Amino acid sequence: MRLNGSEIDVTRSICLALGNDISDRMTKAVKRAEATTVARKLTVRPQSEVKEATVSVVIPCYNYARFLPDAVRSALSQEGAIVDVIIVDDKSTDASLSVANELAAFDSRITVLAHRDNAGPVKTFNDGLALARGEFLVRLDADDLLTPGSLRRAIAVMQRFPSVGLVYGRPVHFSAATPKHRARARAWTIWPGKEWLEARCKSAFNVITSPEVLMRKSVVDLVGGQLPLPHTHDMEMWFRVAAFCDVAYIRGADQAWHREHPNSLSATKVDDLRDLTERRDAFEALFGGSVGEIDQSVQFHRHAKAAMAAQAVELATRLYDRGHPSASKVSNFRDLARSLVGDTKDISGWDGLERRMEMGADKVRRHPRFILERLVRGLKSRYSRWKWRRTGEW
């Protein structure tokens, strides 16, 4: 089935306006959810019994004709779920729309929506979201794939814990043929949503790639779709969902394949300064909207700003440690840190950066103290990556 963009109300069931108060409907739903939420972080054994459930998979597509059939097949071949696929073509200039229509012609589970004008990834997903009718929801980029059994494993978590609104797992990154994947879930970790959100604010990093996520559609209907942020629209949405429901992670199994190639959105060149400013904007949007109504919002936002200020200082510090301290870059990082946390004495690493600036890059690179700091920083970075791969946390 093919629908034209003018034939649907793409704003149906979606609230995207920043700063909106939580509606009466959301308030009542959140109170009901909080009555059944987990009281603390849990790690439990997976259950094997799963009732078949409906899942809508929204596939935004722009010039991915060569990848689209595999993405669709990876969704429709899932066992333990009744899957429908919504392909939204964002005015592709290649054969994507033709490929999508050919796929839909042979499978009634596929709906195709064609944009008359290129609208970008956020509106493309939100338009598909407006058509989703499944109990659960997946956003799958047209160049990514779900691993076999992914939906069944995630649905099992949702059915065992009705307070969970978002389940994610480990994505396998690849660039050529899809590599082997782990199919057995060894444990589930369940967080109270606000506890998970607080941890994300304290690190100010996103721990989710995208295709490895299953969301409860009723929760998404309450909190809304994605906001118009260039690269952090996914992150902001995950965090917004977590403010109003519990979050789960599937340990031991690989939930999706994430394709890495030069034309992907994630491969778009984003330098360190832009990455920080866009994450700052995501947190501003997050706490400027409905999440700003939760009791802990001011504290959580303060955590995020402190973490990003420290990261800005660390990036400026690394420029000195590498012997390439561009004055303009250092100044930009320092200005950003100060804009996030006004008092520099409260910014982690600020004094160390000041000492480096006084000594100069040549002395810094040879100084035993700073050499040791670089080694410790490298070990912490490697540990964080290991922890993320194992537990889904950073």
Instruction: Inform me whether the pLDDT recorded for 237 exceeds 80.
Output: yes
Query: Which whole number is the average pLDDT over 215-224?
Result: 96
Q: How confident is the model at residue 359 (pLDDT cuts 50, 70, 90)?
A: confident
Residues β-bridged to residue 170: 254
Mean of pLDDT values over 156-176: 94
Q: What are phi and psi of 87, to 5 degrees?
A: -95, 125
Classify 103 as helix, strand or coil: helix
Q: In the chain, how many domains are there?
A: 2
CA dihedral 29, 30, 32, 33 (to 10 degrees): 120
CB neighbourhood size of 269 (10 A): 5
Q: Which of 83-97, 98-112, 321-335 has the lowest mean pLDDT?
A: 321-335
pLDDT value at 47 more than 60:
yes
The rounded percent of the chain whose pLDDT value lies above 70 is 89
Residues 140 and 21 in one domain: yes
Residue with structure tokens 């002395």? 363
Q: How high is the pLDDT of residue 263? A: 67
Least confident of 94-103, 117-126, 235-244, 358-367: 358-367
> Is residue 290 in a domain?
no
Higher pLDDT, 4 or 61: 61
Domain end residue (candidates: 223, 253, 268): 268
Same domain, 23 and 161: yes
Looking at the structure, do residues 248 and 318 belong to the same domain, yes or no? no
Is 309 in the same domain as 259? no
Rounded average pLDDT over 192-211: 95
pLDDT at 206: 94
* Residues of the chain above pLDDT 90, percent: 72
What is residue 144's predicted lDDT score, i.e. its pLDDT? Answer: 96
Q: Residue range 247-270: average pLDDT?
A: 81
Q: Is 54 helix (H, G, I), strand (E, B) or coil?
A: strand
Residues 117 and 221 in one domain: yes
Mapping DSSP to helix (H, G, I), strand (E, B) and coil, where does residue 130 land?
A: coil
- Which one is predicted more confidently, 245 or 8? 245
Which of 253, 268, 283 delimits the end of a domain? Answer: 268
Q: The whole model's pTM is what?
A: 0.87
* Shared-domain flag, residues 313 and 219: no
Residue 323, pLDDT > 90, answer: no
Instruction: For the chain, give the mean pLDDT.
Output: 88
pLDDT digits (tens, 9 = 90+) for 98-136: 999 999 999 999 999 999 999 999 999 999 999 999 999
Q: In this structure, is residue 276 part of a structural domain?
A: no
pLDDT tier, 346 (very low <50, low <70, confident <90, very high otherwise): very high
Question: For strand 214-216 and strand 136-139, is the pairing parallel, antiparallel, or unpaired?
Answer: antiparallel
pLDDT of residue 321: 87
Q: Are 310 and 347 in contact (CB under 8 A)?
A: yes
Q: Provide the 3-class DSSP secondary structure of residue 273.
A: helix
Q: Which amino acid is at 249?
A: Y
More confident residue, 14 or 333: 333
Give the residue-averaged pLDDT of 177-183: 90
Residue 279 falls inside a structural domain: no
Residues 6+ apart with CB under 8 A from 175: 259, 260, 261
Q: What's the burial of 382, exposed, middle or buried (CB within 10 Å: 0-12/13-18/19+)?
A: exposed
Between CA 67 and CA 203 the distance in angstroms is 34
**Same domain, residue pair 258 and 299:** no
Domain end among 228, 249, 268: 268
User: Beta-carbon neighbour count of residue 161 at 10 Å?
Assistant: 20
Nearest to 241 by CA among 219, 210, 258, 263: 219
Tokens of 130: 């407006």
Cβ of 375: how many Cβ atoms within 10 Å?
10
206: CATH: 3.90.550.10
Contact 125, 211 (CB under 8 A): no
- Per DSSP bridges, beta strands 2-4 and 110-114 are parallel
Tens of pLDDT, residues 17-27:
333 434 455 54
Residue 277 counted as domain residue: no
Say whether both 57 and 165 belong to one domain. Answer: yes
75 in any annotated domain? yes
If pLDDT is split at 50, 70 and 90, which confidence band does 266 have? low
Is 318 found in the same domain as 171? Answer: no
Question: What value does the mean pLDDT take over residues 172-188?
Answer: 91
- Same structural domain, 318 and 364: yes
Position 162 in a domain: yes
60 — phi, psi (to 5°)? Answer: -70, 140
If 0-12 CB within 10 Å is exposed, 13-18 middle and 19+ buried, where does residue 329 land? Answer: middle
Q: Largest Cα–Cα distance of the chain, in whole Å?
A: 69
Show the DSSP H helices in the chain as ranges: 24-36, 68-76, 96-106, 121-129, 150-160, 193-203, 217-223, 233-242, 272-288, 297-321, 327-340, 350-359, 361-366, 368-391
Say if 153 falls within a structural domain. Answer: yes
Confidence of residue 372 (pLDDT cuts 50, 70, 90): confident
Work out the pLDDT band at 3, boundaries 50, 70, 90. very low
Query: What pLDDT sits at residue 269?
Result: 62
- Provide the pLDDT for residue 36: 63
* DSSP string over 217-229: HHHHHHH-S--S-
**Residue 166 domain boundaries:** 2-268
Pair (229, 378) in one structural domain: no
In this predicted structure, the answer to whether residue 15 has a pLDDT above a threshold of 60 is no
- pLDDT at res. 35: 47
Q: Is residue 305 part of a domain?
A: yes
